[in-house]
Amino acid sequence: MKRILLLGLALAGTFLTPLVSAQVSCTRGGLQRAVDMYIDAQTNGDISELPLPAGAGYWENEVRMDIDEGLVNKAMTINFHRSLLDTDSCQTFTEVIVTDADEPYVLGTRMRINHEKIAELEMIWTTTGYWLFNADNYLKYSSTEDWGAIPAADRDTRGTLVSAANAYLDAFLEGKIDQVPWGFPCVRVEGGMYTGKGSPDDSCEVGVPAGVNIANRRFVVDEVLGSVVVYCTFGAGGPNGGSGAPDTHLFRVENGKLRYVHTLTHLLQSSFRSSD
């Protein structure tokens, strides 16, 4: 009888081990678990399985709101997604592409983990009528790019990734593009517009305007993927209120140089030029 009991306890321990390792945490595995849970929730339109603490923060397009009323409760058929895992700040970022003909979306979703709970969930979303939006094109180009893990010996530091992102965003204000670590080829997906032509000389310099202050910057960094995303506002706002258009800029950096840039801007196309 004792032998049977001990065997039963051993088997129970074997089955329980995956459950412990599957919890959300600040490890890469734990952050990936949080992403997987979010993708399931967004696919099903059901957040009941998300480990949300009392007082969890939820934002859409820089506006704090009740998570029960948020877009995260809308069931979506997700065609593609990729994620950054930031073990230093215990955050994730997920680019989500939905090409549904009636209700297409491209989302940029950030989460922050705190003691095995999703303490913050923030989303910037774009859809039909927003800045250069085209979900089909976004899927076409984003899904074919190589954002795979960079060999450990070749990885840029966190500081290098953040500096590259800042240099790119700083160029919008005073047009000093010579200070940006341009890589070649470098291509940009902006809402759905694509700057590449399949040439080794493709550049992300194309169409970078001057006179726009990219403000309110917050970062999620994944050194393994050589990637950094910046939550920011396209414009710093004006004296009559507003803080610019909610925006994400996602960068892939290789050997200190920009390789890919993805941009989502929650700005109606018809409102362009009035966001500053």
Does residue 9 lie within any of the structural domains?
Answer: no
Domain termination site, one of 129, 163, 182? 129
In this structure, the answer to whether residues 181 and 79 fall within a common structural domain is: no
**pTM given for the model:** 0.90
In this structure, the answer to whether residues 87 and 167 fall within a common structural domain is: no
Using one digit for the tens of pLDDT, what is the confidence trace for 80-89? 999 999 999 9
**For the chain, how many structural domains are there in total?**
2
Residue 257, classed as helix, strand or coil, is strand
Residue 136 has pLDDT above 50, yes or no: yes
In this structure, the answer to whether residues 156 and 267 fall within a common structural domain is: yes
Does residue 184 lie within any of the structural domains?
Answer: yes
The pLDDT of residue 273: 57
Residue 36, classed as helix, strand or coil, is helix
Q: Where in the sequence is the domain holding 104, given as residue range(s)?
A: 22-129
pLDDT band of residue 45 (cuts 50, 70, 90) is very high
Three-state SS sequence of 179-222: HCCEEEEEEEEECCEECCCCCCCCCCCCCCCCCCCEEEEEEEEE
In this structure, the answer to whether residues 119 and 173 fall within a common structural domain is: no
Element (H, E) at 173: helix 158-174
In this structure, the answer to whether residues 123 and 159 fall within a common structural domain is: no
Domain termination site, one of 98, 129, 160? 129
Q: What percent of the chain is helix, strand and coil (3-state, nearest 5)?
A: 30, 35, 40
The CATH number assigned to the domain holding 217 equals 3.10.450.50
By C-alpha distance, which of 108, 117, 103, 50 is closest to 75?
Answer: 103
The pLDDT of residue 231: 98
Cis geometry, peptide bond prior to residue 239 (ω within 30 degrees of 0): no
Q: What is the mean pLDDT of residues 25-41?
A: 98
Does residue 11 lie within any of the structural domains?
Answer: no
- Residue matched to tokens 């000093």: 176
In this structure, the answer to whether residues 83 and 161 fall within a common structural domain is: no
Q: How many residues does the chain have?
A: 276
In this structure, the answer to whether residues 208 and 156 fall within a common structural domain is: yes
- Residue matched to tokens 């930031």: 86
Looking at the DSSP assignment, which residues form a beta bridge with residue 85? Answer: 92
Six-digit token string for 45: 């339109």
The pLDDT of residue 209: 80
Does residue 135 lie within any of the structural domains?
Answer: no
pLDDT band of residue 22 (cuts 50, 70, 90) is low
Does residue 67 lie within any of the structural domains?
Answer: yes
Contacts of 73 (CB under 8 A, 6+ apart): 45, 46, 47, 67
Does residue 27 lie within any of the structural domains?
Answer: yes
Q: What's the chain's average pLDDT?
A: 91
In this structure, the answer to whether residues 121 and 162 fall within a common structural domain is: no
Does residue 264 lie within any of the structural domains?
Answer: yes
In this structure, the answer to whether residues 45 and 78 fall within a common structural domain is: yes
In this structure, the answer to whether residues 107 and 161 fall within a common structural domain is: no
Does residue 173 lie within any of the structural domains?
Answer: yes
In this structure, the answer to whether residues 109 and 200 fall within a common structural domain is: no
The pLDDT of residue 239: 72
In this structure, the answer to whether residues 165 and 209 fall within a common structural domain is: yes
